[in-house]
Each structure stands twice: as structure tokens, then as C-alpha cells.
Amino acid sequence: MTRYYCSGFDINNAFGHGLGDMFLSELKDTKSIVYIPGGADKMQKVKEKYVPLFTEHFKKVGIQFSKSTIINHEINSEDAQKAVREASFVMLMGGDPFKQKEMCSQLGLLEELKKYDGIMLGFSAGAMLMSKHIIITPCSEEYPEFHIEDGLNLDDISIYPHNNTSQEDYPDTLVVGDETYQRDDLIKVANEYGNYYLLQDYLREDGLTDVSIIKSTNGNLEFYTENNGRIWLATSGEIKATNTTKKDKKLTQKLFERD
């Protein structure tokens, strides 16, 4: 089984630079893809904007699925479970990871996702749901306090997306849009819940995107970066750029090849 933990993508070429080539080599078939949005408020945009965009991104790298299913609150739970079980590819999308978890729980999908043995990709909220812990630090009016729940724990790792900075060293305070992350808050979480990874999808002034992705293949982790993408490890004492697992084993670090 292969799983991808992503913060986000190059909006112009999401699966380029080598990522789509990996999909092509890993897919058993292209019969169906299942999209799981991050909450009811995302459904319309997912249907009208994001699924058509991802369809085009897949097509660019030579992948066309025969069937596409968007999971929503109105779908029959048995149909939702069957769709996941039979899917060639499952994408857990962005939004609110807690709302995403609640919807999956109501439809009986949490256990199906844990058992799924195909290709799964989670970005933003989706990658957080795949994690051991869903981690939110006080960062905005929507999230003024720490909010941490159990995730699916598919690979015994947790990620926190959108840590978007061009700095080599993680700053004391990082402002990303309407959210503000405090270095001390991130370390505080690591003190209580263990080490976890910070990923980025930083859109640079030159139009390029710094992307970082963690790939798990049967439990073996690899780091992938695009442009100047970084992966940080939050620990009980610091936040550092890393290329080692929690067991201090070297990871394979690769740079996506440009088309």
C-alpha cells in the first residue's frame, strides 16, 4: 500500500515533476477514484472546481479514471464503503479535518480507510486525518485554542500542513494568510504528543511552489521536495529541517524532476 501526505501542490501542475510517474507505476488499475472532501461546506466547490481540476492534472500525466465518486453526507453508507473498498485511488481533500473525520465516521468509512490497500493521497485536512494525531495550535479566530484529536494513524506519523516560509530556520512566529503559528506552541504539542512533521506548499514571488511530501510504502517513509520545499520535524526541544525518521534511519530524499 502507498500513501502520500501532502500540504498542497503546484496549482498549475499538481502531479508533474515526477509525482504522476510514481502514480502510474503504483496504480493496479484506473477503474475508479474516490474524493473525500473536508466538510459539507466544501462540497459545492469540490464538485464544481476541484474535481474537474484534478481530473485535468491526472490527464496531464496519462491517468484517466473510468469512474469518479465524491463522498458526501447524502450518500448511502453502504455505497460509500463499497466505493472506498473498490477504489483504485482515494483522495482525502482539504477543508476541516474534524468535519472530515465526523463525516467519515457517520458513513462507516474510518475502518474502511484503515484497511484500504491501494493508493491514498491526503492533502491539508486529508493528510491530517491520515495522521496519528490531528493537530491544530492556536492560530486564528476559528481556532483560538489547541485542538488535538486522534486521526486514522495509518503510518504512526503526524503532519501539520501549510508551514509556508522561505526561511531555512523555522521562525519564532509564522504568519500564513489569516493564520499565525507560534514556534513555542508547536514545540509544546511535541512535548505532549510526540514528534511530528511540518509540511509546506509555499507559493513564491517567482510563481514557483515549494512543495514537500511524505510518502509511505508499506510503512517505509520517503521525503520528496519540489523546488526549495522543506520538511521540518517538531520535537520536544526544537523545530529542525530533517531527513531522518523518528528511528534516526536515513530517508531517501529526492527532487521531483522537471518536465
Contact 198, 242 (CB under 8 A): no
pLDDT at 244: 37
pLDDT at 252: 38
Which residues are CB-contacts of 170 (< 8 A; sequence separation ≥ 6)? 163, 183, 198, 232, 239, 240
Nearest to 20 by CA among 220, 214, 199, 258: 258
Q: Tens digits of per-residue pLDDT, 17-40?
A: 789 999 999 999 999 999 999 988
User: What does the domain layout of the chain look like in residue ranges?
Assistant: 2-255
| Neighbouring C-alpha atoms within 13 Å toward the C-beta of 43 | 13
Place 243 in a pLDDT band, splitting at 50, 70 and 90: low
Coil/strand/helix, residue 107:
coil
Q: Tens digits of per-residue pLDDT, 66-80?
A: 999 999 999 999 999
pLDDT at 217: 94
Residue 7, class by beta-carbon neighbours within 10 Å (0-12 exposed, 13-18 middle, 19+ buried)? Answer: buried
Percent of the chain past pLDDT 90, that is, above it, reads 83
Query: What are the angstrom distances between the C-alpha of 7 and each of 110, 163, 179, 200, 214?
Result: 21, 8, 15, 6, 10
Strand-pairing partners, residue 223, are 214, 253
Contact 256, 224 (CB under 8 A): yes
Nearest to 213 by CA among 12, 18, 4: 4
pLDDT at 27: 97
Rounded distance, CA 148 to CA 110, Å? 17
Place 186 in a pLDDT band, splitting at 50, 70 and 90: very high
Rounded distance, CA 136 to CA 144, Å? 9
Q: Right CATH number for 2-255 from 3.20.20.210, 3.40.50.2000, 3.40.50.880, 3.40.50.10610?
A: 3.40.50.880
Q: Quick one: three-class SS letters along 189-221?
A: HHHHHCCEEECCEEECCCCCEEEEEEEEECCEE
pTM to 2 decimal places: 0.92
pLDDT at 245: 36
Q: Tens digits of per-residue pLDDT, 104-134?
A: 999 999 999 999 999 999 999 999 999 999 9
- Mean pLDDT (the chain) is 91
pLDDT at 249 over 70: no
Q: Tens digits of per-residue pLDDT, 202-239?
A: 999 999 999 999 999 988 999 999 888 999 999 999 99
**Strand ranges inside 113-158, DSSP E:** 119-123, 133-136, 147-150
Rounded distance, CA 146 to CA 160, Å? 13
| Radius of gyration of the chain from its Cα atoms, rounded to whole angstroms | 17
pLDDT at 188 over 90: yes
